[in-house]
Amino acid sequence: MSTTAVEQRRANPPATLKQILSGDAFKGAVAKALPKHLPADRFLRVAQTAMTKTPKLAECDQASFLGALLSLSALGLEPDGRRAHLIPFENRRRGCVECQLIIDYKGIVELAMRSGTVASIHADKVCENDTFEVNRGSIIKHTIDYRRPRGEAYAYYCLITFKDGGEKSEVMTRDEIEAVRGRSRAGNSGPWVTDFDEMSKKTVFKRASKWITLSPEIMDAFEAEDEQKEQPIQVFTRVEAGNFALPESQPEQLPAPSSPPVDDGDLGPAKEKATEQPTEGPSIKDQLAAIVISAGYTFDDFKKWGTESGNIPEQQADVMAGFDEVPQALAKRLVNAKTGMLKGLSMLKAVAA
């Protein structure tokens, strides 16, 4: 008598997030992405501490949580609650808790200073009793009288000074900041509530960054945020940590390599819409890595399946050393057809066993 998927899940329950963080597979993926100055053991300890401080993170969809950590590891930032925040967000449309990654102003400044072109970054709020003067986009004066209350903040600004002596400044009103907050899914929780000033500084810095050349790390961080604005919500299948059990419903078929990618929505250039619900989170490559790793497979398993199934040409697989080197179009196609990919991986493991 064949064992049903439900019976297999009972016999081999999915690994918890804490178990995955303690495993060698995820540690190896993080180690490949982290810069040399940040050891994988330390990074994972900080992640586990974040889960201890915010117990609801343990309830998060595994792909969103692991993807957020992989995004942070690629940036060389820790989820310490000072430079980056992991926020559990209840997605009622999906009926699950998702992990939202928010990079703090201090984290963005750290990345900017690594570029080697920035001499200093200063951001501040402007209050009712301050003296503030702007002329033709340049901040002329900001004077604060600390002998009396400053009053309510009505604007925020960022001033970037480059090593060649050039400057770039940007000013946003409180209403403009609140509009950005209103479009965020975490606008009523996390750092938008506990550290509003810091989030406002980050928002105005991000607007200023559109006019300057920044390091690849900062551009990756901003691209990850914008990519999440463009993508529809992905429904990740919960899978077994060890022996993968097929869903009881009919799985979707993985498109042939020559077929066009499955399109779950408009993934083209971001368009400003009043109805958008922007969020920050993992890139498509990090989503792919999170799906594979949370299912109990390694990158080598993924690459072997890809070449044997014909989804990854051998010459392309030879130069791929990690999930970050998977072509963007291929990563998108495999995430959209994840059920077929996981079915292939499980069959590969079954044959090897």
Q: What one-letter code names the amino acid at 76?
A: G
pTM for this entry: 0.55
Q: Which amino acid type is present at position 233?
A: I
- Listing DSSP states for 34-60 in one string gives S-TTS-HHHHHHHHHHHHHHSGGGGGB
Q: What is the pLDDT of residue 269?
A: 34
Low-confidence winner among 11-20, 225-234, 277-286 (lowest mean pLDDT): 225-234
Q: How far apart are CA 157 and CA 347, in angstroms?
A: 56
Token pair 């907050």 in the structure block, residue: 181
The one-character DSSP state at 257 is T
Pick 76 or 176 by higher pLDDT: 176
**In this predicted structure, what is the pLDDT of residue 223?**
60
CB 294 within 8 A of CB 63: yes
Higher pLDDT, 91 or 49: 49
State how far the Cα of 74 lies from the Cα of 236, in Å rounded to an integer: 22
Number of Cα atoms under 13 Å in the Cβ half of residue 280: 25
Q: How confident is the model at residue 303 (pLDDT cuts 50, 70, 90)?
A: confident
- Could you write out the DSSP letters of every residue in 225-252? HHHHHHSPPP-PPP--SSS----SSPPP
Choose the weakest-confidence range: 115-129, 166-180, 222-236, 259-273: 259-273
Report, as an integer, the average pLDDT of 64-68: 89
Q: What pLDDT, on the 0 to 100 scale, is given for residue 236?
A: 28
Q: How confident is the model at residue 238 (pLDDT cuts 50, 70, 90)?
A: very low
What is the mean pLDDT of the segment spanning 190-203? 88
What residues contact 293, with CB distance under 8 A and at least 6 apart?
A: 20, 25, 26, 29, 66
Structure tokens given for 233: 């919500």
| Better-scored residue on pLDDT, 5 or 145 | 145
How far does the chain reach from its first CA to its final CA, in angstroms?
20
Q: Where does the pLDDT of residue 283 fall: very low under 50, low under 70, confident under 90, or very high at 90 and above?
A: confident
**Predicted confidence (pLDDT) at residue 5 exceeds the cutoff of 90:** no
CA angle 95, 99, 103 (to 5 degrees): 150
C-alpha torsion 328→331→337→340, nearest 10? 150
User: What residue spans define the domains of the chain?
Assistant: 10-105, 116-213
Instruction: Dump pLDDT digits (tens) for 131-188.
Output: 999 998 889 999 999 999 999 999 999 998 888 888 889 999 999 999 988 887 778 8
Residue 130 has pLDDT above 90, yes or no: yes
Instruction: State the DSSP string of 134-145.
Output: EETTEEEEEE--
Flag the least confident range among 76-85, 100-109, 176-185. Answer: 100-109
Q: What Cα–Cα distance (Å) separates residue 166 from each residue in 101, 118, 160, 218, 305?
A: 32, 10, 8, 19, 51
Lowest mean pLDDT among 43-47, 164-168, 293-297: 293-297
